[in-house]
Chains A and B, each alone.
Chain A
Amino acid sequence: MIVPLLVAIPIITIFFSFFDTRSEYLTLLKNTFLLEYISNSFFILVGVLFLTFIFGVTSAYFVSFYNFTGVNFFKWALILSFAVPGYIYAYSLTAFFENYGTAFSILTFLFGDSEYNQYIPKFDGLIGSIFSISFSLFGYVYVLTRASFLYQSHNLIEVGKNLGFSTKRSFFKIILPSARPAIVAGLSLVAMEAVSDFGTVSFFSISTLTTAIYNSWISFDDLSTANQLSFMLLFFILILFIIENYSRKSAKYHQPSRGFKSIPKIELKGKKSALAFTFCSMLFFCSFLFPVFQMSYWTIKFPKYFQDIDLWSLNFNTLLLVFLSSVCLIVFSFLSNYGNRVSKSKLLNYLSAFSISGYAIPGVILAVAFITFISWLSDTFTSAFGFASFKPLFIGSVIGLVLAYFVRFFSLSFNGIRSGYLKINQSIDDSAYLLGYSKFKTFTRIHVPYLKSSVFLVGVLIAIEIIKELPITLILRPFNFETFATKAYSYAAQDLLEAAAFPSLCLIMWASLFILFASRYILSDK
């Protein structure tokens, strides 16, 4: 009961004004840029959904059904894109294409001095944002779609052949529909992150609904406008959430029995093999190698920025946050899932659904909502019961950070473990009770071992998210506390992206390590 309430903090805070100052911001916005902001949000959403669909589904299709050069490499290399946060992607893209940027240096190096700036394409900020967000998120679609392809009990291509379909026709008529629920699930995750993005778009000087919420609340102290705009954003997200929930329900009908045989793959030769190879390697290059190269290039070009970095404490802080948060999240997701299972309560289910808000609300907004809420709660307790203030315990402390991450990532962790639980048949519990197992014993002896791999996977996902997390850490951190993400941000903020390269690279490296560590589970063929 407590957990979903806790997780609903951002929503509660956003909808109940604790102070009532109004500014003319909304009127101003309505008369000027509101439409543009909404259309920016809309184009980013549509653009990102389109690109992640193309990238994710195509690569999953190639990798799942065909054998071609490098297929075993691409299978896991494509998920490395999870390691690059959108904002680091934005740094790289900007640095590469800006006047006198990396592209300019490369051209100068190859062809000698000249005025190349006019030939280097100038990215529109909107396009830049769409690409940055897409490359950092298409992995969701890829992983889920691929898993769904592997779950098919028949070789769908064979089925198509037997029906006399061409490859193209069987792709559109059989394969794509069969993976629809997984694709929609992946896309709805992508959509939530795309709509709530703040760091990437603001780096590209693009204003969206999220920017307007940030401005009205944080710059103008105008909570009522922030409420109205948040309502609009939540409305967007709610629709997506309903679609996602719906598709997950229908997914049950598509899930085949667990009798799973690996499907013999079709050998691709010649042109077709080259095509699949080119597509996958381009995707791998753009989504992972490109930002890594850009950051490495700077790290090597400006070695003196190395010295200023206290690697020990950065590693320590990052790992401490990862450890504490994943333990808390996993324990509580476990307990609430177990509660749901034992009590079979609908209420709990609905409340847990609320928790998705943590993921869908922009991190900055969530952090400020968290601070406001703690402050309000503490003041209320102090004035009502004469309690000592507990603000210092939660604002500017590691405990506060962990709690805020908890709110943010609970739905990720809860749903991850729930999907594991769904695979344990209720009859297993019943037979355990028959054998005289207590509820507790059933939990520790049966559920825990069964769920080991989902727990592991969830832990790694949380770790990756926390390593990349920026806005919450930035606002809520204690004194003298830096992570790789805040360090990189701080250099970017003083206009020294060159110096941000090394912490960014470390961040990508840690996240990649976790991904490689878990790739076996993420890509589990079972």
Chain B
Amino acid sequence: MKKLVLSILGLLFISTSVMAQEVNIFSARHYDSDVQLYKKFTAKTGIKVNIVSGKDKALQKRIKEEGKDCKGDLYITADAGRLGAFQSQGMFQKGASSAGIKKVVPANFRSAYWTGIAKRARVIYYNPKTVNPSWNMTYEDLADPKYKGRVVIRQSNNVYNQSLVASLIKNNGAKNTETWAKGLVSNFARKAKGNDRAQILAVAAGEADWAVANTYYIALMLSGKKGPEQQAAAKKVKPFFPNQDGRGTHMNISGGGILKHAPNKANAIKLLEFLLTPEAQKHIVNNTFEYSMIDGVEPNKLISQFGLGFKQDLKTKVSSYGKLQAKALKIMTEAGWN
């Protein structure tokens, strides 16, 4: 009984108590495997990891309103654009790129305020029974009228799409991207709906020939974590890495930055550095099926079977997505992309 009362009291005032060695994370990534990773970190360093996870924008709102009283040290999310936008609102402090981090993370995937933790590629999926992409097919090609009614992609409010379109604006200019978006929308097989995996399933079921989705979703299906039916469905679909003759395939990151009022900055840096060790990276690639952020860690077999030698778009800095996402959303919305 006494224990119960104490733990109730503890919970009531939890936000006011400060532990000696801890690091507090606001995370818009919900993976359970992340939590396991944090436990490994605690076992190694004795630093306790506390987490609040939630929807990206709502979390940002909370952090902003809490201001100086925000107990959060790290903000982790699965899109470079969001990190960039949060940075431009002045919510991060410098430090995420410590000397140790600079050594292992390519400059393209970090800024002074945040660093990538894992990479993801947003690719084209196709049904090999009905279509066959030429080796140099591009995202731009998806707007070609010959694919009328055969393309699926999720909604424009999805941040992965906003970053993809941001990179198109960066490379092709706003005018061309407007034309492209209109062309793409007229190629839709159905109104945009569902998550990335639903797009892959639509190709498997013959609703469309082409889909756009991140790479790790097909690995999730192939892994059997979603049952034998989805495993079989995933085998009917092939990923294709576009823009190989040009700038390369669109890359995005999961990443984290140190919050402006972080009370445990040193611990936050330690955690980021830990996440970028080969041990942690192996854990990530084998659980979320993302690409490793550092050299020398191979992706999971389910991903590496699709080829490792593809050309990644390293020309377009991921830090440019944030500034262009709003523009991207505007272009998509005006093109009728729901």
Contacts and interface: CB of A to CB of B under 8 A. Distances in A.
A99 to B, nearest CB: 4
Given A98-B201, A99-B207, A100-B204, A215 B15 contact: no
Q: Would you list the 6 A-B pairs with minimal beta carbon distance, nearest first?
A: A479-B50, A117-B205, A205-B193, A375-B65, A99-B205, A99-B201
B66 A375 contact: yes
Contacts of A213: none
A28 B62 contact: no
A32 B334 contact: yes
Given A117-B205, A375-B67, A495-B217, A31 B55 contact: no
Given A118-B205, A479-B71, A397 B227 contact: no
A60 interface: no
Contacts of B69: 389, 391-392, 395
B295 interface: no
Interface stretch (B6-14, B104-112, B118-126): B6-14
Given A302-B227, A478-B52, A308 B32 contact: yes
Contacts of B67: 375, 379, 391
A32 B333 contact: yes
Contacts of A232: none
Contact of B333 (A28, A219, A399): A28
A494 B30 contact: yes
A392 B71 contact: yes
A498 interface: yes
Given A32-B333, A364-B58, A371-B62, A99 B217 contact: no
A320 B205 contact: no
B330 A28 contact: yes
Contact of A395 (B62, B154, B204, B226): B62
A372 interface: yes
Contact of A478 (B15, B191, B195): B15
B336 interface: yes
A127 interface: no
A219 B67 CA distance: 18
Contacts of B7: 316
A490 B59 CA distance: 14
B205 A100 contact: yes
B15 A393 contact: yes
Interface string B55-78: 101110110011111010000000
B220 interface: yes
Nearest to A219: B57
Interface in A366-398: 367-368, 371-372, 374-375, 379, 389, 391-393, 395-398
A28 B335 CA distance: 11
Interface in A94-112: 98-101, 104-105, 108
Interface of B: 7-8, 11-16, 24, 29-32, 50-55, 57-59, 61-62, 65-69, 71, 154-155, 157, 191-198, 201-202, 204-207, 217, 220, 225-227, 229-230, 232-233, 326, 330, 333-334, 336, 338
A100 to B, nearest CB: 4
A490 B53 contact: yes
A522 to B, nearest CB: 30
A396 B66 contact: yes
A218 B64 CA distance: 12
Contacts of B198: 98-99
Contacts of A32: 333-334, 336
A338 interface: no
Which of A99, A204, A215, A218 is the most central at the interface, judged by chain B CB atoms within 10 Å of its CB?
A: A99
Contacts of A395: 15, 62, 65-66, 69
Nearest to B25: A479
A399 B61 contact: no
A101 B14 CA distance: 42
B148 to A, nearest CB: 20
Contacts of A364: 58
Contacts of A308: 32
A75 interface: no
Main SS class of interface, B: helix
B179 to A, nearest CB: 17
5 contacts: A125-B191, A207-B338, A301-B227, A479-B14, A494-B30
A118 B15 CA distance: 52
Contacts of B24: 479
Contacts of B155: 205
B201 A100 contact: yes
A475 B53 CA distance: 8
Nearest to A376: B65
Nearest to A309: B32
Contact of A496 (B29, B51, B53, B225): B225
A310 B62 CA distance: 26
Nearest to A400: B15
Nearest to A317: B11
Contact of A371 (B65, B227, B330): B65
A407 B59 CA distance: 21
A477 interface: yes
A491 interface: yes
A117 B206 contact: yes
A37 to B, nearest CB: 10
Contacts of A33: 333, 338
A127 to B, nearest CB: 12
Interface string A441-478: 00000000000000000000000000000000011111
A23 B327 CA distance: 12
Contacts of A393: 15-16
B32 A475 contact: no
Contacts of B29: 494
A100 B225 CA distance: 14
Nearest to B194: A205
Contacts of A396: 15, 52, 62, 66, 71
Contacts of A490: 30, 32, 53
Contact of A474 (B13, B58, B201, B226): B58
Contacts of A28: 330, 333-334
A125 B192 CA distance: 10
A99 B31 contact: no
Given A205-B193, A372-B65, A494-B31, A31 B14 contact: no
